[in-house]
Chains A and B, each alone.
Chain A
Amino acid sequence: MKPGAARRATRPVLYLLLIGMAVFYLLPIYVLLITGLKSFAEVDLQRMWDLPTGIHFENFASAYEKLAPHLWNSLRLVIPAALISSMVGSVNGYVFAKWKFRYSNLIFTLLLFGMFIPYQAVIIPLVQFMERLGLRGSISGLVLVHVIYGIAITTLIFRNYYAGVPTEVLEAGRMDGAGFWGLYRYVVFPLSIPAFVVVLIWQFTQAYNDFLFAVVLTGNRTWPVTVALNNLAGSQIVQWNVQMAGALLTALPTLLVYIFLGRYFVRGLMAGALKG
């Protein structure tokens, strides 16, 4: 059992390495948290790493006051965007997985390209177009943009998921007289809850964390929280401690989603990363 013994000897080293790396990943969150919990009186850049003397919420209250309307904007943006995106992705994925037609693979690939483009290559026409539709500056306009540029990834995730549904299951449904929508409603849709969770989380995170579309398509009343936070951080008047508390508040919704639904989040990442 020599390899076993050697393995036991190296274990502590491995744990030490893991803990060291964990410190690196936790460091920024740690600073955001301890800064947020300090009282205004003990906030001091030169004592950044000192623990707070007690638990105070002054920094968070101050940041919340400034960010609250924008946090709500973000939620009003993200919830419809995620819901609509997942519906669109689901039916699209169903077609590309189970109703293949001539050139459907080519069309699918052409759709996928939209996932990778730098949005700088479409944003000038996009702004003009939204302006003409009277949607620039509105949250519904931003929802539309996230749904459209989300078509590629959501279709991809659902298509890959449905590809795993055996065709025999659909054939059986067909024998019972179900058509396109019947098969979707009674066979495919009930099977797709896991894919829905993945896509909902993915689109939620994407739309929530977006900055580029938001900064050019919304105005100061409709800014989502990422834009508001960036302005807060760029301001000379707002204290760094309030900025840090604001950063943590901004991160909170997606962090909560990650903490409670992390497994699905990771699966979504994999699906988005590795086609097929």
Chain B
Amino acid sequence: MTVIPAAAGPGNSTAPAQPARRRRNRDQWTAIAVILPSILATAIFVYGFIGWTLRVSLSNWTGLMPDYSFAGLRQYLDLARDPRFAIDIRNTAIFTVLFLTSCLVIGLFLAILLDQRLRGENIFRSLFLFPMAVSFIVTGVAWRWLMNSATGTRISGLNLLFHQLGLDPLINNWHLTDPPWGIAFIALPAVWQMSGFTMALYLGGLRAISDDLREAARVDGASEFQIYRYVLLPLLRPITLSVMIILGHISLKIFDLIVAISQNNIALDVPSVYMWRTTFDGNNYGKGAAIGILMLVTVAVLIVPYLVYSMRSEAEL
């Protein structure tokens, strides 16, 4: 009987708090348990499989049966001497440079156009962006026929259109142009598909800039051109960085579009296609794995600093 009032003193405040804290602790463990399957899946399907691929790339595995006998860097050294892989790297480089610069220039151009508060802005924005929703395979099929290089009486596609419009000097061989420039034309459908995305990001950026800033520049006597050049564009730099990273990694991995357009034409080969063909058609698993790892390293060089940077800047918040 006397115990109760004694405990009621200071214990009163901690008694309800104790279970609440315990409850919160339990909830915290629930939270960790909830994401555990995702962490495990990522650990296995991303990191585990990368490790496994690395192991395959260091093996002699050719043929249908797995063979993990250690081959050291043989597969990588073979690739270094492989003329087809040299073509792949050259093609990726040409494609990436053209694809990135065109998307940036066209995207920015369209964003500035749409930033002029014209009527029908929404319609135009949707028109520029819809190719994003379409599969690269669909894009490839459509553009393969548009970029038909037949001549004379069999002329068709864009060449035919140029001819009908009296623009004959524009007629060309498209992706069947002599190597290494054929791949440059495959950047065209890729730009068709992704430049609207760049536009959307730039436009979002322009709209996020306060109108006061433009007004202030106008009061100072700056022309519209100067406002863009000296006030707005410098503020868009972080977006340019994001676009370069997003499109850059898409470009380094480009696969379906090439498959759909090139239809096995070696002159238009890229690492992802080579990897797929050599692994699943040729059963050269060791070589395929080595290409996969090299692709990963290239993409990681681009992505990891970005991820680390965004993690750090978030920790500061």
Contacts and interface: CB of A to CB of B under 8 A. Distances in A.
Interface stretch (B73-81, B132-140, B166-174): B132-140
B307 A251 contact: no
B113 A122 contact: no
Contacts of B303: 113, 116
Given A105-B315, A255-B130, 13 more contacts: A24-B192, A28-B189, A95-B32, A119-B253, A121-B293, A125-B52, A174-B24, A180-B30, A212-B256, A226-B256, A230-B137, A254-B134, A255-B134
A172 interface: no
B164 interface: yes
Given A124-B292, A269-B200, A45 B148 contact: yes
Interface residues of B, number: 108
A39 interface: no
A121 B38 contact: no
Contacts of A180: 27, 30-31, 34
B293 A109 contact: no
A109 B135 CA distance: 28
Contacts of A151: 38, 41-42
Interface class of chain A by DSSP: helix
Contacts of B23: 179
A73 to B, nearest CB: 14
A92 B113 CA distance: 39
B7 interface: no
Interface stretch (A52-60, A185-193, A240-248): A240-248
A51 interface: no
B46 A117 contact: yes
A134 to B, nearest CB: 17
Nearest to A119: B253
B101 interface: no
Contact of A46 (B139, B146, B155, B242): B155
Contact of B307 (A46, A113, A205, A229): A113
B232 interface: no
Most buried by A among B46, B154, B164: B46
Contacts of A230: 137, 140-141, 256, 259-260
B39 A107 contact: yes
B126 interface: yes
Given A28-B146, A116-B249, A270-B200, A212 B134 contact: no
A49 interface: yes
Contacts of A148: 41-42, 45
Q: Chain B interface mostly helix, strand, loop or mixed?
A: helix
Contacts of A121: 49-50, 53, 292-293, 295-296
Contacts of B66: 128
Interface string A1-39: 001000000010011011001101111110110000000
Interface in A75-115: 88, 91-92, 95-96, 99, 101, 105-114
A124 B201 contact: no
Contacts of B113: 14, 17-18, 21
A118 B272 contact: yes
A269 B197 contact: yes
Given A31-B142, A233-B141, A270-B200, A92 B153 contact: no
30 contacts: A46-B153, A49-B164, A105-B314, A109-B311, A118-B299, A120-B288, A121-B53, A121-B292, A126-B45, A151-B38, A180-B34, A205-B133, A209-B134, A212-B256, A212-B276, A215-B276, A229-B137, A229-B141, A230-B141, A230-B256, A233-B260, A247-B137, A247-B142, A250-B135, A250-B138, A251-B133, A254-B133, A262-B126, A270-B201, A275-B310
Contacts of A116: 249, 299, 303
A118 B296 contact: yes
A45 B142 CA distance: 13
A234 B263 contact: yes
A169 interface: no
Nearest to A155: B38
Interface in B274-309: 275-276, 279-280, 285, 288-289, 291-293, 295-296, 299, 303-304, 307-308
B160 interface: yes
A219 interface: no
Interface string A153-176: 001000000000000000000100
Nearest to A232: B141
Contacts of B182: none
Interface centre among B23, B48, B120, B142, by most chain A C-beta atoms within 10 angstroms, is B142
A72 interface: no
Interface in A232-269: 233-234, 240, 243-244, 246-248, 250-251, 254-255, 257-259, 262, 265-266, 269
A230 to B, nearest CB: 5
Contacts of A257: 133
B56 interface: yes
B185 interface: no
B256 A113 contact: no
Contacts of A251: 133-135, 138
